[in-house]
Amino acid sequence: MTIRLGDIAPDFEQDSSAGRIRFHEWLGNSWGVLFSHPADFTPVCTTELGLTAKLKGEFDKRGVKAIALSVDPVDSHHKWIADINDTQNTTVNFPIIADGDRKVSELYDMIHPNANATLTVRSLFIIDPNKKVRLIITYPASTGRNFDEVLRVIDSLQLTDKHSVATPGNWKHGDDVVIVPSLQDPDEIARRFPAGYKAVRPYLRLTPQPK
């Protein structure tokens, strides 16, 4: 199954380190970050799960739940979690799905035969409260994920969902944003953006980030 942006994230029921997970029910009205790992006790993924645990406060501020996945069983996950907690000086505070039958991996197209015929690639999905897929990133096994970028994208998505703006390249929370080209009525622009804007070009109008 191929997942594209805007698709409804497939629902599933699977065991995890935190018990049985019914995915859509578990998400509720939250945003979600679902990310996969080739196997337990892999070095890059150990650092990533530790980092995710340390970022719980940042995810909570944004109304985001994190959930990881590996094809290994629950008992292996619990042993790995002990290692993660010890080596990364943290406490894993999110579920790790045990996808031994590859059900979730197949639903989310995480098995790439040219990379590895049996293990999941390192994919990450951002899912909104309507259960729509808003971001997909797939990393090579040798490159750790940049969770600052994941948080940046969540900030952008949540901001642009509320306002008629887009975020420019390298945008960070608090930087100027772009008024979308479809918004042309001067009165509406003045109402939406009381701080004014700078028209670099007719199609490129920068304005302070709305609060």
Exposure of 62 by Cβ count < 10 A (0-12 exposed, 13-18 middle, 19+ buried)?
middle
CA distance 147 to 102: 25
- Are residues 204 and 178 in contact, defined by beta-carbon separation less than 8 angstroms? yes
Residue 42, both tokens: 């892999």
Annotated catalytic residue, options 9, 33, 34, 45? 45
Tell me if residue 45 is catalytic: yes
| CB atoms inside a 10 Å sphere around CB 108 | 23
Strands 122-127 and 177-179: unpaired
CA distance 178 to 161: 13
Give the sheet arrangement for strand 31-36, strand by strand. Answer: 96-98, 64-70, 31-36, 122-127, 133-139
What is the DSSP code (8-state) at residue 108?
Answer: T
Name the residues annotated as catalytic.
45
